[in-house]
Structure 1
Amino acid sequence: VNCSKLARRLNRLTRTGHTVNVISWLSRSGSPAYNNAVTAVKLQWLRKHLPSVNFSEIHIVPYGTPKQTLGNGILFDDEKRNRDAWGAGAYDETQIFEVLKGLG
């Protein structure tokens, strides 16, 4: 993913009133200490690669947490079961630019 291009697209959407959230799972079998480290690394990655994006919410949750309980709108996810559970508005992550471009 071209992070600069993604940041520009997300910032354009937030300027037009959209909210941008992150929902991400922790390790399937990580210890509390490991999951704390994973959380820190994920947040660091967002700050490093998408520093200009003002996320409305960032949810880093235990593996298997139903993502549809944490948000609505559009989901980009690499796991088909998450997209199926989300329902309408769920896309494979490879479609992110195509879908976001259609939003404005």
Structure 2
Amino acid sequence: MPKILKDACPTETALDLIGGKWKGMILFYLCSDTRRFNELMRLIPDITQRMLTKQLRDLEANGIVHREVYPQVPPKVEYSLTDLGNTLEPVVRALEKWGDRYLRAL
């Protein structure tokens, strides 16, 4: 195991992998279903195409999201959570519940 990973704080590692403005929303929508790129664009209207592509690539590179390309014309690409990504569902749901409580408390 590389030294940088061996000495890393697990919480910091998790936040590095799934933190940021968009990854939480992407994971939220992928928890419930497999999604196509344009569907994610519609569900997250403030994200740019370039940023969605970057965030999906990051999640894919880290083994959290699976990208399935179907050999057809026009090309069809679907995104889903990997087995590892599916282990994040309770975390995402807990964040959703906490966020809801926080908003109601305001």
TM-score over 0.5 (shorter chain): no
Give the number of the structure whose alpha-carbon radius of gyration is greater. Answer: 2
Q: TM-score, normalised on structure 1?
A: 0.24
Structure having the higher helix fraction is 2
Q: TM-score, normalised on structure 2?
A: 0.24
> Greater RCO between the two (CA within 8 Å, min separation 6)?
1
